[in-house]
Amino acid sequence: MIKIYEFDALKPEEILNRDIRAEANVEATVDAIIADVRARGDAALRDYALKFDHAKLDSIQVSQAEIDEAFAASDPDFLETLRMAADNIRHFHEHQVHKNFVVNDTPGIVLGQKYTPIERAGVYVPGGTAAYPSTVLMDVIPAKVAGVSEIVMTTPAGPDGKVNPAILAAAVIAGIDKIFKTGGAQAVAALAYGTQSIPAVDKIVGPGNIYVATAKRKVFGKVGIDMIAGPSEILVLADGSCNPAWVAADLLSQAEHDKLASPVLVTDSAALAKAVQQELEVQIPQLPRAAIARESVDTNGKIIVTDDMAKAVDAVNIIAPEHLELCVDDPFAVLNSVKNAGSIFLGKNVPEALGDYFAGPNHTLPTSGTARFSSPLGVDDFVKKSSFIYYTRDALGAVQSRIADFAEHEGLHAHAKSVTIRYEDEK
């Protein structure tokens, strides 16, 4: 059963203790997998597919015939849902596109910034206990909007050697270029270093388990990564007028993801806290993934009761949740007080699942408190910013002595000389 805590009795570090550092055996396993993929390429990927996914692969790449077959066999209503979701995601992310700018308000000086998309992105889509076509849409479409030239996707095959057809259907609608049958740390290694079949990419995005997260951390520097994601989290901030059954259902929408997921309720109503605690016991046994939800709720779940809504918001900002639901009468009045959250769901009629699948904002979000300093996946993750500077000879000459003086104060004579040498013939 989920535990209820009084906010004032908790130390900040006790409110939600999350540590996503990998254990030593995970680190060693990931190191060995990365080294093996670098050494043996596709052969290593085939061996790991057989070992971890029980899939015997003839080809690493998903063929066009497999893609066409999966798409043709898909339910037309589901395909229409995917298209509608894709349109919403695309429309939202198009508003994130930045424009290049030029500053030319001083004679002889031109300054500016230009945005350039990365050339090749790698999208990791998890397999295992659930299929995530939503992740395909959320991770591929912002890259498309950004103008990435080539997008490749990796996802594990099932024991039949095939990729989940829902994932393939989403890949077609998102506009993916190439799809490969590999998952886990080995997929991250392949995307970072390349194999005979899989091209090396410039950046890897997408969620995964602790092995994927650890591999992404280890290849960072060779390639870019979006974030090091921990287990999923939901925080519901609710007042006493909320329906406890709705709140319990929203908490369980994340608890069913993973035994390590963190479902948290923060409320200023002791009565609601007790009602939600009881409602969870009613709903958990009804879930197909009840065992996962039970462990998530009992081990990582919390209900935190505060004296008032101001303290409830304080708790939210300390936790910095991945998903935040503001289940209050006037969510817009609370919104500006929220400093730390990945994605914010406003009002009692906005369950987190709306954002997971359909509304448009991205569902690849900062976890483990990193919403204090990081943001959801978006167009910015697929572009680079370059600044540029132009000075005429006269414009540089007007400030040459100041630049040289600055350089000399740092003890860097060659810096100073690189400016003054251009004017020595004028002395």
Question: Is 325 an active-site residue?
Answer: no
* Distance (Å) of CA 402 to CA 42, 81, 398, 399: 57, 62, 9, 5
pLDDT of 295-338, one tens digit each? 999 999 999 999 999 999 999 999 999 999 999 999 999 999 99
Mean pLDDT of 78-98: 98
- For residues 256, 258, 259, 260, the Cα torsion angle rounded to the nearest 10 degrees is -130
CB 58 within 8 A of CB 245: no
Instruction: Classify 83 as helix, strand or coil.
Output: helix
In the sheet where 178-181 sits, what is the strand order?
178-181, 150-155, 120-124, 203-205, 224-225
Mean pLDDT of 49-76: 95
DSSP 21: P
Q: Does residue 21 have a pLDDT over 60?
A: no
pLDDT for res 11: 80
pLDDT of 233-275, one tens digit each? 999 999 999 999 999 999 999 999 889 999 999 999 999 999 9
Report the mean per-residue pLDDT for the chain: 95
- Give me the residues paired with residue 326 across strands: 237, 346
Q: Does residue 130 have a pLDDT over 90?
A: no
Phi and psi at 412, nearest 5°, equal: -115, 85
pLDDT for res 13: 72
pLDDT of 143-176, one tens digit each? 999 999 999 999 999 999 999 999 999 999 999 9
Residue 109 exposure: Cα atoms within 13 Å on the Cβ side: 10
pLDDT for res 20: 52
- Which among 233, 256, 322, 325 is annotated as catalytic? 322
Cα 50 to the center of its chain, rounded Å: 28
Question: Is 257 an active-site residue?
Answer: no
Q: Which percentage of the chain shows pLDDT scores above 70?
A: 98
Question: Six-digit token pair at 157?
Answer: 């095959």
The burial class, CB within 10 Å (0-12 / 13-18 / 19+), for 220 is middle
pLDDT for res 59: 95
Mean pLDDT of 69-97: 97
- Positive or negative torsion for Cα 46, 48, 50, 53: negative
- Which among 323, 325, 352, 363 is annotated as catalytic? 323
CB 268 within 8 A of CB 309: yes
pLDDT for res 19: 60
